Amino acid sequence: MPHRPGQSFRFTHAITRLPSDSVANGLRATDTGDPSGTRFREEHALYVKALQEAGLTVDVLPSLEDYPDSCFVEDPAFCLPEGAIQLRPGAASRAGEGAQIRPALAARFDDVVKLPEGGHVDGGDVLMLDDVILIGLSARTDRRGADDFSNILSNWGYSAEICETPEGVLHFKTACSTLGDGVILATGVMAESGFFGNRELVVVPEGEEYAANVIRVNDVVLVPEGYPKTRAAIEAAGFKSVVLPTHEARKVDGGLSCLSLRFALSNG
């Protein structure tokens, strides 16, 4: 696909959803205690403010008590300037989230395409770079979903590569992020995977693996609170960082990228 400089981090809009009280029942690999809906909404407000300060118009959707993980809006959809794709998350309790977010996609995009029946893709497994879109197979994203998703991307002029998310990693982007300008932030395991070719890598220091999930938004990189070595490495690589609390999201395996759909629109 043509190299589109800035595609992976130049955004005008974001869609988010308020955390529900039922987030206390959210999915997690290891139980470290239930998140509090109230505290999560306080952290979420700071997150929305940071996106706005980075220059985005942010849609904040109402919470959905029937879907404990629904504040992680990145998983049921994927957005490009050409249109939005309604995905089908791979966890049974999240399967209905695609239909729930569709009206918000339709409010911003003329073209909303649904992933064909049969396969599953979580947006957390999709890493958009400026010259390729990487799709990680995982416990949530299967081969059929990845192939169907790739075909939709191809119709819109994008190339995708399908990779294997390392064992034990929830989502592909749990362990890596784009910092933009061709630079990838990755855990040691991901850095050794070969998925990133000869791109420049910033490796997350051991013990701070959670901080591999950051988001570059226009001129800043949003970084989770409590990971000073990773923040220092990002700054040393030449990027300006803004630190945000994600303590409640972390209890249910959520990170900064999962909390928004970010995209660039030319029509406001």
Contact set with ligand GLY (CB under 6 A): 26-28, 69, 72, 91, 94, 252-254
The DSSP symbol for 123 reads: G
Q: Position of tokens 């070595």? A: 229
> CA triplet 71, 184, 51: central angle to 5 degrees?
35
Residue 26 beta carbon to ligand GLY: minimum distance, rounded to whole angstroms? 4
Residue with smaller CB distance to ligand GLY, 19 or 83:
19
Instruction: Report in angstroms how near the CB of residue 165 gets to ligand GLY at its nearest.
Output: 13
Beta strands across the sheet bearing 83-86: 77-80, 83-86, 112-114
Q: Which is nearer to ligand GLY, 26 or 83 (CB)?
A: 26
Active site residues: 171, 258
| Number of residue whose CB is nearest ligand GLY | 27
Shortest separation between residue 253's beta carbon and ligand GLY, angstroms: 5
How far apart (Å, rounded) are the C-alpha atoms in residues 37 and 259?
A: 14
Strand partners, 235: none
Nearer to ligand GLY, 170 or 233 (CB): 170
Specify the residue, 7 or 100, whose C-beta has the smaller distance to ligand GLY.
100
Taking the C-alpha atoms of residue 14 and residue 130, their distance in angstroms, rounded to an integer, is 19
Residue 163, φ and ψ in degrees, nearest 5: -125, 170
- Confirm if 14 and 59 have CB atoms less than 8 A apart: yes
- Report, in Å, the least distance between residue 94 CB and ligand GLY: 6
- In this complex, which beta carbon is closest to ligand GLY, that of residue 27 or of residue 220? 27
SS3 state at 231: helix
User: Parallel, antiparallel, or unpaired: how do β-strands 220-224 and 241-244 relate?
Assistant: parallel
* CB of 178 vs ligand GLY, minimal distance in Å: 21
CA nearest to 233, candidates 170, 191, 172, 173: 191
Up-side HSE of residue 8: CA atoms within 13 Å toward CB?
24
